[in-house]
Amino acid sequence: MDVGFIGLGRMGQAIAGRLLDAGHEMTVYNRTRSKADDLEARGATVAGSIAEASAGREVVFTMLTDDKALDAVVGGGLLESLPQGSIHVPMGTHSVTALTELAATHEAAGQVLVAAPVLGRPDAAAAGQLGVVPAGPADAIEKLAPLFDVFGRRTFVAGTNPAGAAAVKLANNMVLGCAIEAMAEGFALTRKFDVAPAVFNEVLTDGLFAAPAYKVYGGIISNEAYDQAGFTTLLGLKDSNLILAAGNAASVPLPSCNVYRDRLLGAVAHGDGERDWAVMARVQARASGLE
């Protein structure tokens, strides 16, 4: 399939690399061109503009940081260059409002929008082990299925409304953020009674909480390994604000989200915005008199 890919951060590079290695014709674009060097060496064509990356493509994936970046790419050449009938697949974490508006924009242009945020970290993308959550026209999702299978372990179709995909991704991130906050409180409580963090982490992950989220983030908190960020505090804060906005739009109270959002905001205030978002445990430790 003739695929365009715009946005080559760690996640974008991993996904684009999987598609390239699977034999798809790849044209890639990134504002910082050097991020495309590895893919170019492996056979990808590097476009000089968003329009060039979109023109003639059957599918264009975008992996972008936020709604502002998505708007800039769509208005900066994607919309005017993507052929009628072709599919735009935004895979970043975006607001329900942005995707609702973008679906209408593409429909008016004779194009198709399938929102498909992914679940997992960049290492999972490189291993083809992401969860993929597409929502949009059923026939378009069916066409995209072989591509999703290249970088995903499972696809969870979230319906025909692209905003539904955003709702699933945001809700999933909210539950994970709440889990990290709860772990942070547990680590702080046990530390106050002179229990080594490694012991509490072992108790958590050997029993009822022997799940990947607790193992990954429990290990990060236990070892205070916040500098190797798989998902930064600033990104977590951005997502928490999107979650609360979605709740406001749908009249859904989300009290737990407010708690971990404040922890993230506190981490940013202490200069930890680029560290892994599990650093909210450090904020909890400070509040407990441990730092």
Domain final residue, candidates 131, 159, 187: 159
Domain final residue, candidates 98, 129, 159: 159
Residues 211 and 92 in one domain: no
Residues 90 and 174 in one domain: no
Residues 244 and 117 in one domain: no
Residues 15 and 76 in one domain: yes
Residues 179 and 140 in one domain: no
Owning domain of residue 142: 2-159
For residue 179 the two structure tokens come to 């889990």
Given 35, 68, 143, 169, the catalytic residue: 169
| pLDDT score at 230 | 82
The 3-class SS string of 14-51 reads HHHHHHHHCCCEEEEECCCHHHHHHHHHCCCEECCCHH
Task: Report the chain's C-alpha Rg in angstroms.
Answer: 20
| pLDDT score at 39 | 95
Specify whether 169 is catalytic: yes
Helix (H, G, I), strand (E, B) or coil at 211: coil
For residue 80 the two structure tokens come to 């005017």
Residues 213 and 142 in one domain: no
Per-residue pLDDT band for 120 (boundaries 50, 70, 90) equals confident
Residues 147 and 14 in one domain: yes
Model confidence pLDDT, tens digit, residues 166-201:
999 999 999 999 999 999 999 999 999 999 999 999
Q: Taking residues 224-239, report their average pLDDT.
A: 93
What CATH number did the domain enclosing 7 receive? 3.40.50.720
Residues 83 and 211 in one domain: no
Model confidence pLDDT, tens digit, residues 97-119:
999 999 999 999 999 999 999 99
Residues 10 and 106 in one domain: yes
Q: How wide is the angle at C-alpha 56 spanned by C-alphas 53 and 61, nearest 5°?
A: 50
Per-residue pLDDT band for 46 (boundaries 50, 70, 90) equals very high
Residues 116 and 230 in one domain: no
Instruction: Name the domain count of the chain.
Output: 2
Residues 151 and 269 in one domain: no
Amino acid at 107: E
pLDDT exceeds 90 at position 220 = yes
Domain final residue, candidates 159, 185, 215: 159
**How many Cα atoms occupy the beta-carbon half-sphere of 190 within 13 Å?**
18
Model confidence pLDDT, tens digit, residues 9-34:
999 999 999 999 999 999 999 999 99
Residues 84 and 109 in one domain: yes
Alpha helical stretches, state H, 88-211: 96-108, 122-126, 138-151, 162-191, 197-206
| pLDDT score at 177 | 97
Distance CA 260, CA 256 (A): 7
What CATH number did the domain enclosing 234 receive? 1.10.1040.10
| pLDDT score at 291 | 78
Q: Taking residues 76-101, report their average pLDDT.
A: 97
Look over the chain and give the mean of its residue pLDDT values, rounded to a whole number.
Answer: 96
| pLDDT score at 121 | 82
